[in-house]
Chain A
Amino acid sequence: MAYGFMLPAAILVAGLMYWPMIDTFRESLYATTFLNPNPTFIGLKTYEQLFGDSTFWQIVRNSIIWTIGVVFLQNVGGFLIALLLNQKLPGQGILRSLILLPWVLPGVVAAILWRFMYDPQLGLINSFFMRLGIVEHGVGWLAEPSTAMAAVIFAAFWKGFPFSTVVFLAALQNVDQEQVEAAKIDGAGSLRRLFDVVIPAIWPVAVVNVLLTTILTFNYFDIIYVLTRGGPLNATAIFPTRIYEVGFGQFKFGEAAAYGSLSVLVLVLFVGLLLLVQRRQVKAA
């Protein structure tokens, strides 16, 4: 009976997740173009082309900057906010509910909202900066290659931090208060208690959180696609947006699939590196 219960889920996950992952690699060995929709086998040629293509390396670099930026802000910011929400203060109950709003908001809507916030003429951000006299004319945050990446990272942080905060908050509430009190009696200041007792206690949760947000951010499509379509000049193009553009914009399924396979490779290397660094740190401590 156990197998019977499991079967439908197993078939779907195997057929629609594991098989496509393998099939992506097979697909990447074939060339399909808009003019020639019949796939022709070309082996690893697409990969060779990609490795020699500066756009590909730009995508790799962007993906890493984007992921590190969002994950850093989401986790460090999310943790600091969780610390604040864990204090005994008036209005905490309401604030704890309110901060979840961005996370519940559909990604496309969040992106539309931020497109509008960043708008050179009508955006709230420019309006705010102009009132303060920091800028004279509206800045096209999303239109400038130099600011576009920072702008999409911030929007993604805004959308995603509640998740980290909620998880950190739950972890903070599970911290053994006796240990905190003991440290207090030993004369440890609040910063000392934070680093010696609280952070070690929640470290395992932090590791899971960082891994989770890394993977989700690396694969996140909605915000960048709606905010910039990966532009200007590929300044914010990451793997998922590039795959969509190459596959469904240019109908080069083979190349899109190669990007797909490589995105898995980059993600695995990236997560592996993260785990390695984490293990080193635990040993060093």
Chain B
Amino acid sequence: MLFFDDVSKIYSHDAIALKNINLRIEPKEFVSLVGASGAGKTTLLRLLLREEDPSGGHVYLDGIDITSIPRRRLHHVRRRIGTVFQDYKLLPMKTAYENVAFAMEAAGRLDEEIQEDVPQALDVVGLGDKMKNYPHQLSGGEKQRVAIARALVNRPDVILADELTGNLDPVNTWEIMKLLQKINELGTTILLASHNKEVVNAIGKRLVVLDHGEIISDEQNGKYLL
């Protein structure tokens, strides 16, 4: 379970990213986090990864206070969270296989497991035949699939997806969204940050709307109309 307990992020008196956010996300939920640019979606995800520290409040993952973990032990939490970014964030000097394998190696998994799981993960995202390609040899949609494979290969509790369809054409966008839904159905919690109305409305799951750092709406099967 994810829990944002009265979380604020203030950069300066006129740059308030998040104000007293209280948000509880149950295991296996699919939550779309929506709002205009600057609403605070990405900041919320960054706090969950501890890329940034909150100005106030706490963030919990299964009862563990992420905000108070020493930085040198953060990797334990990050291995339980898969992350997919709009700009893919793949390692340019590694092949698709190596990018996915890296997450497993970093988690200390055995070579046999890596050799078995990485091709499976790449098969799931439809890239079984492009394992040896480098990121620059892949299209935007393919890069995003590699990023998804990397995010799910360690079987995380949660996958954070930050504007993951922002750089994709409509066909790829829908395919990637279907993939995310499939991963969610298999039991992984998904937290999707997006400003794409069509996408979040089509998913039809829980919708949390952020505006100027505050939650202005939180409902199941909600529609994003702004």
The finding on whether chains A and B are genuine partners in a shared complex, rather than unrelated, reads no
Binding site for A on B (CB under 8 A): none
